[in-house]
Structure 1
Amino acid sequence: MSIKFVSKASLPITGIRVTGPYAESIPLGFDALSRWVERHAIDAKDWVALYWDDPSQVAPQALRADVAVGFPAEAVLPEDSAVTMVKQTIPGGLFAVYHTKVTKDNFSQAWEDFYTALAGSEYHPVKGACFERYLDDGRSGTYEIEIYQSIAKND
């Protein structure tokens, strides 16, 4: 478990918007996304969950996230009436990146540890991209992830 500060290029993605408590909506979204990827034989890379709301400030039923895969900006989305896919780009910039392993689906602890580590640094979170990048599929019961948060240097 380590935190680092990096400049990252933008990442074109396509995915599905989910709404509701993250612990419930994110897995359902990834199930639907996985079926879409398999159905269209997409060579999916960079599986991510992009978060739009802070759970400490937004009611659980109103939380929004996008579950997505890296997808070239110039690529044409396959037509699929079963799923509404949205193309977007995660903007590049300066990020804090926290590499960790999550067991027993305890993602909230990983986020708490990340923000504790960030608070002890010379950087602070800013409005911008906030997402998880999955380094494995979690089938072992443990997910290896990287947490990304847009940051700026403290004054």
Structure 2
Amino acid sequence: MSPPPSMRHQFAGDQLRMFLHAAAPPDFIAVTASGIPMGNQTGLIPDVLVVDRSALAGGIKMPDPSQVHLVVEIVSPSTTTTDRTLKPAKYAAAGILHFWRLETARFRGLGLDRLPVLFTYTLDAEGEYQLTRRLAAGTTTRIEESFPVELDPADLVA
């Protein structure tokens, strides 16, 4: 059993969900910690996901991957490999078009960037995620992938 996420981790997820929900078109909703079934495999629980509003209206427990437009993982010390490697591969295999990863602690390759750093990815024609943006704290940026949203990663942990 994994240890519970830190309060900082949960706060970042809640903040990101609020930003995404406010920016989402009316037919999308942003939720936290809801599962996604992965066929015959065990389902996954991303920190934040954006789904078709119809998934909520239908009263189902978990949205079908085809109803998921964006998944976000906030990297935790106890789940680093899972959040950076395993989960993105499974989300890509399920055909989820957009994946974001939020790094809130020092990591190899941080360089001079301020934490947190948000990485955004889009699924390519071969079914692999391609990095579309690397956003460090301190700069407000408009992200167009999935739907337009403007944010500064610093606002997710402040």
TM-score > 0.5 by shorter chain: no
Structure ranking higher on relative contact order (CA contacts 8 Å, 6+ apart): 1
Over alpha carbons, which structure has the higher Rg?
1
TM range (shorter): under 0.3
- Structure with the higher strand share, 1 or 2: 1
Q: TM-score, normalised on structure 1?
A: 0.26
Q: TM-score, normalised on structure 2?
A: 0.26
